[in-house]
Chain A
């Protein structure tokens, strides 16, 4: 990956309900296609299952106990230490660094600026319709508008006639076009908002998931021996208009079974809507001819409970809340297509594409998002930041996560063996 560009895609609240992670229900052809050209980590975990602490952790390469950010209300550079970030490191090494959408959590925790100008070469882009995210934009059965949790929408009726993630994709595509003609290497981070609540997405995606195909979680009850301190009462869900109307008891609920199915249906639909955005973005990377010179990283800030253990959010240490998708596409390393000039990521329509694909390489090693800093540095051929000493409050550049590139090799060998066994024909293998 020496000298390559980096496209860093981070999704909000996405647990690995993806075809490439073995989910049989979801339609995620574009992310699966990316996985088929990537090394996929099956056991990747965030350091804390809430947005700001998780993002600051993996963007600085330090754990929450070092960033001292466990909530949303402090900026690590003044509250803990003036730590470097991944994009800052790339910027200081000659890259043009750009942020589109939700990369840092907005607000105090990124100094109301997404850490600009430390981390970014140009001011971060936020979609103009982001501000309507929590407005009453969901049409109820009575025809009135509500701030619902379950919120399939007619996009043409939305403020501005669009949705934030659609705008982010458009801006990222515009930036790719600009970078096409520049000689400078780039680090483009694109942060998608969905499937974070509210589950607001174009209503046509509901068609992919008929309600009769939607099951409850395999364990929708609060486990008998779960210590009360481990349980989260999903307050943000309770505050939405449609959930409020259900008068669910506090703290354990449960939600009615039918409503549980509606939430799960909409989460899946929002994932397919996200998949479409990722597909359009990767297709644009092909269009500008940069697929063979750009490392693509795909991950999420943390997972989300879909009713398991009687929970409906993140805010816990359960695997469903902390486990994330993580994959790296490195031209010439995870795929042999570098330099061939063909299309690597043709857009796949989730409404018509049905074939699943298996990843080229897969690693079952336990890995952590805090390792992203050193891993990306190594993949791009930059010097890997040193390991942090025991106390690193005054160390600007170090990392608490070891590079996981060492796991790529064994995965490559497995992929090679698969090929030798006749399993490189993904359709056959699937």
Chain B
């Protein structure tokens, strides 16, 4: 079945919030958060990013987020590390 998907992304200079986390300059970007969302969920992986060659390394995952919209429409309960949802994660990846 055709499922419509929307993507977004956001750059970060570091793993923890710091003064330039909101608006890092290109040369400061170390991590990129890529999001994929459907009606049912939002899945985000924060991966290593190289600003020299604009490459993202999806083997180097710094953190992940998974929100199930039906039970958590406000996206407050990150179930990325919840084994109950490992089947969905595998399917997405």
A317 to B35, CA, bound (A): 7
The B interface is mostly helix, strand or loop, or mixed, namely loop
Q: Considering the complex, give the chain A residue whose CB is closest to the CB of B22.
A: A315
**Cβ of A162 < 8 Å from any Cβ of B?**
no
Chain A interface extent, by class: 35 or more
Closest to A69 in B: B26
Contact in complex: A229, B62 (CB < 8 Å)? yes
Whether A65 touches B54, Cβ cut-off 8 Å, given contacts A229-B62, A235-B19, A236-B22, is yes
A72 touches B23 (CB 8 A): yes
Chain A residue numbers with a CB within 8 Å of B35 are 317, 322
A343 at the interface (CB under 8 A from B): no
Cα-based distance from A225 to B26 in the complex (angstroms): 28
**A49 at the binding interface (Cβ < 8 Å):** yes
> Are B39 and A227 in contact (CB-based, < 8 A)?
no
With a cutoff of 8 Å between Cβ atoms, the chain B residues found around residue A46 in the complex are 8
A291 to B39, CA, bound (A): 34
Contact of B11 (CB < 8 Å), options: A70, A74, A230, A308: A70
Q: Is A50 an interface residue (CB 8 A)?
A: yes
Contact B17 A233 (CB under 8 A): yes
Question: Does A223 count as interface, using CB distance less than 8 angstroms?
Answer: yes
Known: A223-B76, A223-B78. Contact between A48 and B10, CB under 8 A?
A: yes
Q: Are A73 and B10 in contact (CB under 8 A)?
A: no
Q: How far is A234 from B63 in the complex, measured between Cα atoms in Å? A: 20
Within 8 Å CB of A228, what residues of B? 15-17, 63
Q: Are A317 and B78 in contact (CB under 8 A)?
A: no
Which of the segments A89-97, A346-354, A364-372 contacts the partner chain?
Answer: A364-372
Residues of B within 8 A of A27 (CB): none
Bound Cα distance A364, B81 (Å): 29
A45 touches B17 (CB 8 A): no
Determine the distance from Cα of A232 to Cα of B76 in the docked complex, in whole angstroms.
15
A364 near B39: Cβ-Cβ < 8 Å:
yes
> By the criterion CB–CB under 8 Å, are A367 and B6 in contact?
yes
Contacts of A252 in B (CB 8 A): 17
Q: Does A47 contact B (CB under 8 A)?
A: yes
Q: Is A178 an interface residue (CB 8 A)?
A: no
User: B17 near A231 (CB under 8 angstroms)?
Assistant: yes
Interface presence of B85 (CB below 8 A): no
Whether B39 lies near A366 (C-beta < 8 A) is yes
- Tell me if A316 counts as interface (CB < 8 A to partner B): yes
Given A73-B25, A74-B26, A231-B17, also A366-B4 (CB < 8 A): yes
User: Are B78 and A229 in contact (CB-based, < 8 A)?
Assistant: no
5 closest residue pairs by CB, A with B = A227-B63, A251-B17, A225-B78, A45-B6, A366-B4
Interface set of B (CB-CB < 8 Å, partner A) = 4-12, 14-26, 29, 31-33, 35, 37-39, 42, 44, 46, 54, 56, 62-65, 74-81
